[in-house]
Structure 1
Amino acid sequence: MSSHQKNPPIPHLARRVWRDPVLWLAFGFGSGLAPKAPGTFGTLPGIALACGIGVLATSLAVPAGYLMAAAVLLLTPIGVFLCGRASEKLGVHDHGGIVFDEIVGVLIPFILIPVTPLNLLWGFVAFRVFDVLKPWPISWLDRRVSGGLGIMVDDLLAGIFALAALLILSRIFPAAFFAG
Structure 2
Amino acid sequence: MMLARMIATLLGTGYLKPAPGTWGSLVSLPWAWLLHVIGGMPLLVLGIVAAFFKGWWATAQMTKGSDDHDPSEIVVDELVGQWIAVLPLSIASWRMGIDITVMWPGWIAAFVFFRLFDIWKPWIVGWADRRGDALGVMLDDVFAGVFAALAVVALAGLYHAF
How does the TM-score come out when normalised to structure 1?
0.76
Structure 1 range deviating more: 107-116 or 158-167 = 107-116
User: Are 2:86 and 1:110 equivalent residues in the alignment?
Assistant: yes
- Which digits, 9 at most, give the CA deviation of each residue in 1:85-120, with x for residues without a partner? 112276521001100000111101232224423332
- Which digits, 9 at most, give the CA deviation of each residue in 1:138-162, with x for residues without a partner? 112211x232211100000000000
> One-letter code of the match for 2:73?
G
**Contact 2:35/2:43 (8 A) holds in 1:** yes
**Contact 1:66/1:111 (8 A) holds in 2:** no
User: Which residue does the alignment assign to 1:155?
Assistant: 141
Moved over 6 A (4+): none
The percent identity for this pair of structures is: 31
User: Which residue does the alignment assign to 2:33?
Assistant: 51
Please give the alpha-carbon distance, in whole angstroms, between the structure 1 residues aligned to 2:161 and 2:111.
19
**Contact 2:128/2:137 (8 A) holds in 1:** no
Please give the alpha-carbon distance, in whole angstroms, between the structure 1 residues aligned to 2:133 and 2:4.
15
User: Are 2:109 and 1:133 equivalent residues in the alignment?
Assistant: no
More helix, by proportion: 2
User: Which residue does the alignment assign to 2:47?
Assistant: 71
- Which digits, 9 at most, give the CA deviation of each residue in 1:46-72, with x for residues without a partner? 112111112213xxxxxx222221111
- Which digits, 9 at most, give the CA deviation of each residue in 1:24-58, with x for residues without a partner? 2211111111221010011122112111112213x
User: Which residue does the alignment assign to 2:95?
Assistant: none
**Contact 1:68/1:110 (8 A) holds in 2:** no
Please give the alpha-carbon distance, in whole angstroms, between the structure 2 residues aligned to 1:168 and 1:118.
13
> One-letter code of the match for 1:50?
A
5+ residue gaps, structure 2: 91-99
Q: Greater CA radius of gyration, 1 or 2?
A: 1
Secondary structure in 2 matching 1:107: helix
Aligned CA-pair RMSD: 2.0
- 1:157 and 1:81, CA in 2 relative to 1: closer, same or farther beyond 3 A? same
> One-letter code of the match for 2:11?
F
Q: How many residues align?
A: 151
> One-letter code of the match for 1:113?
L
Secondary structure in 1 matching 2:149: helix
User: Which residue does the alignment assign to 2:22?
Assistant: 40
5+ residue gaps, structure 1: 1-18, 58-63
> One-letter code of the match for 2:48?
V
User: Are 2:152 and 1:166 equivalent residues in the alignment?
Assistant: yes
